[in-house]
Amino acid sequence: RAVAMSVSHSSRLNKLVREQYVRLPQDGLVQVTYVWIDGSGEGVRCKSRTLDKEPKSIEDVPEWNFDGSSTAQAEGSNSDMFLVPVRMFRDPFCLDPNKLVLCEVLKYNRKPAETNLRHTCKKVMDLVKDSHPWFGMEQEYTLLGINGHPYGWPDNGFPGPQGKCSPFPQPKCSPQLPPCARGVGPCEGIEMGDHLWMARFILHRVCEDFGVVATLDPKPMTGNWNGAGCHTNYSTEEMRREGGLKHIEAAIEKLSKRHDYHICVYDPRGGRDNSRRLTGHHETSNIFEFSAGVANRGASIRIPRQVGQDGYGYFEDRRPAANCDPYAVTEAIMRTTVLNETGVETKDYGDH
């Protein structure tokens, strides 16, 4: 009964009623849902328009605009913002031939909005494209009831200790998590951020159907519980070849000398969110210290045991928070490991 009461009333509506509308013929028309990152740098927004035919590529999707004053991205006196389509996906909610389209946000002067971190990430990924960087990001999240309490927990009290047998699910990765937004990738270059942001949109949309809320807060429950991260698995082509372990170790050495810079970009608040999570406990490293090791989930960087045995493969950066911007994370890794930047300042590569 407690679980039933923690979900929204809308979750109990008969989903078959919706199906009869989804299955109506569209007579060649296509609904395109434009998705973008709002002024918080964490939330996603959307709105839809109808096109006369199915777009075959992203170039077939026209630019659009929206009211930035309603998304904390502009003032009411000059509120129109541009939506520039960058990646197209099939729509799992309205079904084929309808589309979900991820967009970059530009201001009235066509400069990137403050939370448009894709813009500089794309420049960096174009510069390093010959290294063929692959990423796989493990998006962790916590399901909450509409009462703000972890979904499935008792209304009063807590489940058993982390890792012990308990009749209630743990706060993250419980059996009741919908199969969304976990283990996104491998993706090459800029595609990693594109796919993870759309996976987050789908996650939130699925949660609406089930009447629960997904939070990406890296430590939504204080106390003796694991937090939520976005562990980032990474490799370049030379790391994936025989003998690649020496390139992995060289990249880790570069990362060790730029720890403060990475911590600052691995959550939206310059490390303040991660300071609640990276305590050195609950399978995390200490936020103030860099560490690396084979099969060590308490280190900043983990080299999988299989990679250590094979002598090539990838490594895992365990520092990014669940609410990180994947564009910022992947860009930072490339700046440090391939472009050989040092210190806390970043280089402006212009429009190369």
- The CA distance from 285 to 64, in Å, is 43
Strands 99-106 and 30-37: parallel
Whether 2 has a pLDDT exceeding 70, the answer reads no
Whether 170 has a pLDDT exceeding 70, the answer reads no
- The CA distance from 202 to 196, in Å, is 10
Q: Which amino acid is at 295?
A: A
pLDDT level of residue 91 (50, 70, 90 thresholds):
very high
| Cβ within 8 Å of residue 252, ≥6 positions away | 292, 301, 303, 315
- The average confidence (pLDDT) of the chain is 90
Sheet holding 30-37, edge to edge: 44-51, 30-37, 99-106, 80-90, 64-67
Sign of the C-alpha dihedral, residues 71, 75, 78, 84? negative
Instruction: Determine the distance from the C-alpha atom of residue 97 to the mean position of all C-alpha atoms in its chain, rounded to a whole number.
Output: 26
Specify whether the CB–CB gap between 123 and 190 falls below 8 A. Answer: no
| Cβ within 8 Å of residue 81, ≥6 positions away | 65, 66, 67, 68, 71, 73, 74, 105, 106, 107, 108, 113
CATH code for the structural domain at 9-115: 3.10.20.70
Whether 176 has a pLDDT exceeding 50, the answer reads no
Q: Could you please report the per-residue DSSP string of 245-278?
A: HHHHHHHHHHHHTTHHHHHHHSSTTTTHHHHTT-
Tokens of 300: 């900043």
pLDDT at 76: 81
Least confident of 70-84, 104-118, 148-162: 148-162
Task: Express as a percent the part of the chain with pLDDT over 70.
Answer: 91
Whether 174 has a pLDDT exceeding 50, the answer reads no
- Average pLDDT for residues 214-221, to the nearest whole number? 92
Helix (H) or strand (E) segment spanning residue 144: strand 142-144
31-44, pLDDT tens digit by residue? Answer: 999 999 999 999 99
pLDDT at 110: 96
Q: Which amino acid is at 281?
A: H
Q: What is the pTM of this model?
A: 0.92
- The CA distance from 74 to 56, in Å, is 32
For the chain, what are the domain ranges?
9-115, 122-173+181-338
- Average pLDDT for residues 67-78, to the nearest whole number? 92
269-290, pLDDT tens digit by residue? Answer: 999 999 999 999 988 999 999 9
Specify whether the CB–CB gap between 83 and 36 falls below 8 A. Answer: yes
Whether 320 has a pLDDT exceeding 60, the answer reads yes
Domain 122-173+181-338, CATH among 1.20.210.10, 3.30.200.20, 3.30.1360.200, 3.30.590.10? 3.30.590.10
Strand partners, 235: 134
- The CA distance from 349 to 127, in Å, is 9
pLDDT level of residue 352 (50, 70, 90 thresholds):
low
Specify whether the CB–CB gap between 235 and 312 falls below 8 A. Answer: no
